Amino acid sequence: MSIDIKSKWTNSIKTEAKRLGFLSCGVSKSDFLEEEAPRLEKWLNNNMHGEMGYMENHFDKRLDPRLLVEGSKSVISLLLNYFPEETQVADTYKISKYAYGQDYHHIIKSKLKQLQEFITEEIGEVNGRAFVDSAPVLDKAWAAKSGLGWIGKNSNLLTQQVGSFYFIAELIVDIELEYDHAVTDHCGTCTACLDACPTQAIVEPYVVDGSKCISYFTIELKNELPIDVKGSFDDWMFGCDVCQDVCPWNRFSKPHKEPLFNPNPELLSMTKKDWEEITEDVFQKVFKKSAVKRTKFEGLSRNIKFLK
């Protein structure tokens, strides 16, 4: 295939991604993630996934998208901003900013579907699959490979002049495109995220022990919360943004333009007392279509009780 055709296709896909509201779009060759393989193996062997047993599944597929999408040649990585214009009131129980509005899975899936339809119209029959946290895809690794940022010391993807408050999604397709190149690491000597983590989950630069992370405790862990971490959650009742909030690159974050990510106004004004007295009806109203529903009313109540 000529370089001109690949370049034309790639540029039109990136232009359409921008039109659909994505922050940026990068492309890399669908191949085995050589550097990630030993890291992932070590992370799993050290039980840093805690009770997230699903992380052990499909080890090979996590590292090679060609096993997920037969005949795939390109991974199209996309970023979608979720940084809010307003945050919760001070001195309250907090939820991660990504969960303020409607569940991102559905919103991004819809945009990816539109992008897939555009590709078919523009190029012809293209086989591919869309992914948003929904399958064993190492999205941060692919986004970094596609030049959308670098993986920082807090293990999040970071982007100059943008920060890290965005979702990552992929389209894995069976056509060759023009591939982007990875960017350099710009964390330098900064250790803000390591120093600020309330539970010391960032055990060394670029390594997060998932089983010590507040997001793991408040969302993934279905049993009782361990008593030895009581008092170290910094008032986070669903997820945690500390390592992003302190990252110097996030001073460049700009509010998103996606109305579906806007929170129920009640969410922003609720005080600790309001949360402690929350009923299931209020929970259903405030978190209608929200990712917070993953933890259910019982889970959120458990977390609030643990913080009191």
Q: What is the DSSP track for 172-240?
A: EESS--PPP-PPPP--TT--HHHHH-TT--EEETTEE-GGG-HHIIIII--SPPPGGGTT-STTEEE--
Cβ neighbours for 120, distance < 8 A, ≥ 6 positions apart: 126
**Same domain, yes or no, for 45 and 151?**
yes
**Same domain assignment for residues 212 and 270:** yes
Give mean pLDDT, residues 83-99. 97
19 plus 127 within the same structural domain: yes
Where b means 16+ CB within 10 Å and e means fewer, 277-296 reads ebeeeebeebbeebbbbebe
> Are 32 and 146 found together in one domain?
yes
Residues making up the binding site for [4Fe-4S] cluster: 187, 190, 193, 197, 213, 240, 243, 247
Q: Is residue 239 within 8 Å of residue 69, measured between CB atoms?
A: no
More confident of the two residues 188 and 134: 188
pTM of the predicted protein model: 0.95
**Residue 283 banded pLDDT, cuts 50, 70, 90:** very high
Q: Which residues are annotated as a binding site for cob(II)alamin?
A: 62, 133, 154, 157, 168, 215, 240-241
Q: Which of 31, 133, 180, 185 is catalytic?
A: 133
Does the pLDDT at position 258 exceed 90? yes
The range of the structural domain enclosing residue 108 comes to 3-173
Domain assignment present for 137: yes
Q: Are residues 139 and 270 in the same domain?
A: no
Whether pLDDT at 86 is above 80: yes
Q: Are residues 118 and 219 in the same domain?
A: no
pLDDT-above-70 percentage for the chain: 100
Confidence class for position 9, pLDDT limits 50, 70, 90: very high
User: Average pLDDT of 99-120?
Assistant: 97
150 plus 68 within the same structural domain: yes
Strand partners, 129: 172
Same domain, 154 and 206: no
Query: Which segments are annotated as binding site?
Result: 62, 133, 154, 157, 168, 187, 190, 193, 197, 213, 215, 222, 240-241, 243, 247
Residue 57 reports pLDDT greater than 90: no
Burial of residue 196 (number of CB atoms within 10 Å: 0-12, 13-18, 19+): middle
Task: Strands of the chain (E only): list them.
Answer: 24-29, 74-81, 94-95, 128-131, 150-151, 157-158, 166-173, 202-204, 207-208, 236-238
- Specify the 3-state DSSP secondary structure of 251: helix
Of 26-35, 42-51, 66-75, 271-280, the range with the lowest mean pLDDT is 42-51
Q: In total, how many domains does the chain have?
A: 2
Q: Residue 95: which residues within 8 A CB-CB, separation 6 or more?
A: 88, 236, 237, 238, 239, 267, 292
Whether residue 152 is contained in a domain is answered as yes
Active-site residue flag, 133: yes
Instruction: Provide the β-strand partners of residue 28.
Output: 75
Query: Which of the listed residues 115, 138, 173 is the one where a domain comes to its end?
Result: 173
pLDDT number for residue 49: 87
